[in-house]
Amino acid sequence: MSTEPLDQPKEFPHWNRVYAAVILFTVLTIVGLWLFSRAFTPTALQ
Amino acid sequence: MRWLDWVVVAAYLAYVVTDGVRFSRSRDGLSGYLLANRSLPWWAVGLSVIATQMSAITLVGTTGQAFQDGMGFIQFYFGLPLAMIILCVTVVPFFYRAKIFTAYEYLERRFDARTRTTTSFFFLLSRGLSCGVIIAAPSVILSIVLGWDRLATILAMGLTTTVYTMLGGVRAVTWTDVKQMAVIVVGLSAVSIVILQALPEQVGLGDALEVAGLAGRLETLDFTFDPSKTYTFWSGLIGGLFLMLSYFGCDQSQVQRFLTARSVAEGRTSLLMSAFVKIPMQFLILLIGVLIFLFYSFLPGSQTPLLYDRGEAAKLATSDSAAAFRSLEARHADAAQRRSDAAIAYARMRAADADAAAPTSDPAPSEGAAASGVAAQRFVEANDSVTALRAAARDMVRTTTGSASYSDVNYVFPAFVTTHMPIGVVGLIIAAIFAAAMSSIAAELNALATASTIDFYRRHVKPDGTDRELLFFSRMSTLFWGIFACVAAYYAASLGSLIEVVNKFGSFFYGSLLGVFVLAIGTKRATGRGAFWGLLSGIAAVAFVNYYAEIAGLWQSVSGSDLLLVHVESLKISFLWYNLIGCFVVVAVGMLISVLDRSARVTGSDPSNTNA
């Protein structure tokens, strides 16, 4: 039997997955920025 | 500004005040006034966190920086997502469950009253002054661009915000932040749409961005490990991480945001919202700066300003240097015209190349590619001339005004808006600049009042004060800090790149504050004395690094020795690293003193220290 008070909201159990998603999103964003810069690196001057 | 723009700005200010005042009818008491009884939803708190961080300086300064130097500033935020995760794991549940009003309150529970009072005092000092800078930045710019009286601009921003913050408390601050974010998003979207519509015929966004690429405006990442460079991948990731940890975890103006959330989970989610949103949002704001650069690159040379600060341009035009300035203007108009011709030619060639693109087995460059290469070369040369002439004009201002750090970067965005936006949209964007400033000011005033009330008045003056008395004092201290910020803003008139001034100022204290919280939360061995002297050592270390060149010069003039001067170059460190230095020194000194304290206690030589 649970000893948790009935009015206590249950703690969300998957925070680690959320943190992993934040890190993955940040890495992808930085890679996206790098690709964006590369896409507009002037080739006409080379 | 035309009549419709005035109507939009006046309607915005009137709405913000009446909407904020609505919350003054609440009968919540002190907890409701300062923490909204911990009842706010995560999305409102999350938007308030973003709005608090994005001041008018961010809006106006970063678009100007992207216009001038490109998008490298984005790297400043690379440490933010990781900082948010660390705070969600450590500080958020810690502070929330401790049921505290201020972050510094916790330090007394862990260490002693002296550490709490000192950290809170430094917070009041740094935030009180930076609140002045947050008001000064847009007021100086708007007064020059719009021709308003600077005092009137300061009062329109500072006093309006003070009124609704004082009456409505944190609820008014948060819900007004949500609406102000909406005004900012709509305003920036309007600017983007107008610029995109103004691109020359047959030139698409991709072709235009290729022109920006030629000028190096789209370089976002710099992987060099040079501590003297302000914005690199590493300074953003490591230095930025420490700055964000300090700002979001130790600065009351941000801690108070997540303390108003309904639960620990909602507090965490509100911070993680920034982790997801901040970098893409800042990218879009910087992109607007690049679009403004493109707008002026395509514009005829005679319509491109040499200086975007109209006030200084007008002064130079009537000064002793008027002839030299007019000569610069003529050469600039010529270079800008050459740049415009080359930019349009290059963009159209790229557009035509893209339309005609077909797979070919011939690896030799086509005639079209050679022609676009020539146009690109002409554009780069003309753009270099424009850049050099603008630098010469800024030098001229520096010479005549004596302000060594003068820059017109912060004037680019408002000058563009007031000159080239349609009627009504100008008012909307000026309202967005007001909104960005006011959302930050409100959070600062609210936090300053909270720290004054809880850490000083309730702690040292009236420990048995009733809820009503404390609430009254909170309101009065909001009013006091509002007036203080307006006075500070009035005297903080002539500053260089304002965004750096605010961040640099914060960096003096932030890293050291973070170090104290690392000692408090991260180790059980640290003592109150260790934390206190660690804090002072951290601040002294950062000040030493920042003023090393001056100290070395002074030492040389006093002793005649070059001993310190030889290290000046190697100690030129970007302000983003100050947080790391401050934090490290506090933890190292704090732990050393704590260990000595404990040894002394074991041997019984220092019975006075009872902090553990």
Residue B33 has pLDDT above 80, yes or no: yes
Read off the pLDDT of each residue in B381-397 and give the average, rounded to a whole number: 93
Under the banding of pLDDT at 50, 70 and 90, the label for residue B609 is very low
Residue B540 has pLDDT above 60, yes or no: yes
Q: Do B89 and A36 touch (CB under 8 A)?
A: no
For residue A18, list chain B residues with Cβ-Cβ distance below 8 A.
Answer: 272
Task: Give me the helix-helix angle, B240-250 and B80-89, nearest 10°.
Answer: 40
B612: its two tokens: 């553990």
Dihedral sign of CA atoms B180, B181, B186, B191 in order: positive
Q: Testing the interface with A: which of B86, B276, B278, B285 to mutate, by most A Cβ within 10 A?
A: B276
C-alpha to C-alpha distance for B8 and B611, rounded to whole angstroms:
57
pLDDT in tens, B248-304: 998 999 999 999 999 999 999 999 999 999 999 999 999 999 999 999 999 998 899
Average pLDDT of the residues of chain B: 87
Determine contact: A27 vs chain B, CB below 8 A: no
- Residue of B277, B286, B287, B250 whose CA lies nearest to B106: B250
C-alpha to C-alpha distance for B77 and A17, rounded to whole angstroms:
22
Q: According to the model, what pLDDT value does residue B494 have?
A: 53
Q: According to the model, what pLDDT value does residue B209 have?
A: 92
Q: What are the counts of helices (DSSP H) followed by strands (DSSP E) for chain B?
A: 24, 0
Neighbour tally for B594: CB within 10 Å: 24
**Between the CA atoms of B271, B273, B276 and B282, what dihedral angle is there, to the nearest 10 degrees?**
-90
Residue B383 has pLDDT above 60, yes or no: yes
Q: Testing the interface with A: which of B42, B205, B209, B219 to mutate, by most A Cβ within 10 A?
A: B219
pLDDT in tens, B423-437: 888 999 989 988 888
pLDDT in tens, B479-505: 999 999 998 888 775 554 554 555 566
Q: According to the model, what pLDDT value does residue B612 have?
A: 35
pTM: 0.87
Q: Do B275 and A18 touch (CB under 8 A)?
A: no
Q: According to the model, what pLDDT value does residue B503 have?
A: 55
Q: Tally the C-alpha atoms within 13 A of residue B100's C-alpha that lie toward its C-beta.
A: 23
Query: How far off is chain B from A15, nearest CA to CA, in Å?
Result: 9
Judge if ipTM > 0.95: no
Match 């040379």 to its residue by tokens.
Answer: B301
Residue B539: helix, strand or coil by DSSP?
helix
CB-based contact B396:B317 (threshold 8 Å): no
Residue B86 has pLDDT above 50, yes or no: yes
Q: According to the model, what pLDDT value does residue B598 have?
A: 81
φ, ψ of residue B406 to 5 degrees: the values are -60, 140
Buried b (16+ CB within 10 A) or exposed e, B486-519: bebbbebeebebbbbbbbbbbbbbbbbbbbbbbb
Determine contact: A26 vs chain B, CB below 8 A: yes
Residues in chain A: 46
Query: How far off is chain A from B407, nearest CA to CA, in Å?
Result: 26
Q: According to the model, what pLDDT value does residue A43 have?
A: 65
Q: Do A34 and B221 touch (CB under 8 A)?
A: yes
- Cα-only R_g, chain A: 22
B430: its two tokens: 């000026």
CB-based contact B1:B430 (threshold 8 Å): yes
In chain B, % of residues over pLDDT 90: 49
Q: Testing the interface with B: which of A8, A17, A29, A38 to mutate, by most B Cβ within 10 A?
A: A29
Read off the pLDDT of each residue in B140-164 and give the average, rounded to a whole number: 85
Residue B335: helix, strand or coil by DSSP?
helix
- Residue of B55, B23, B59, B318 whose CA lies nearest to B176: B23
CB-based contact B548:B540 (threshold 8 Å): no
Q: According to the model, what pLDDT value does residue B500 have?
A: 55
C-alpha to C-alpha distance for B347 and B209, rounded to whole angstroms:
9
Q: Do B84 and A22 touch (CB under 8 A)?
A: yes
- Residue of B62, B210, B32, B56 whose CA lies nearest to B140: B56
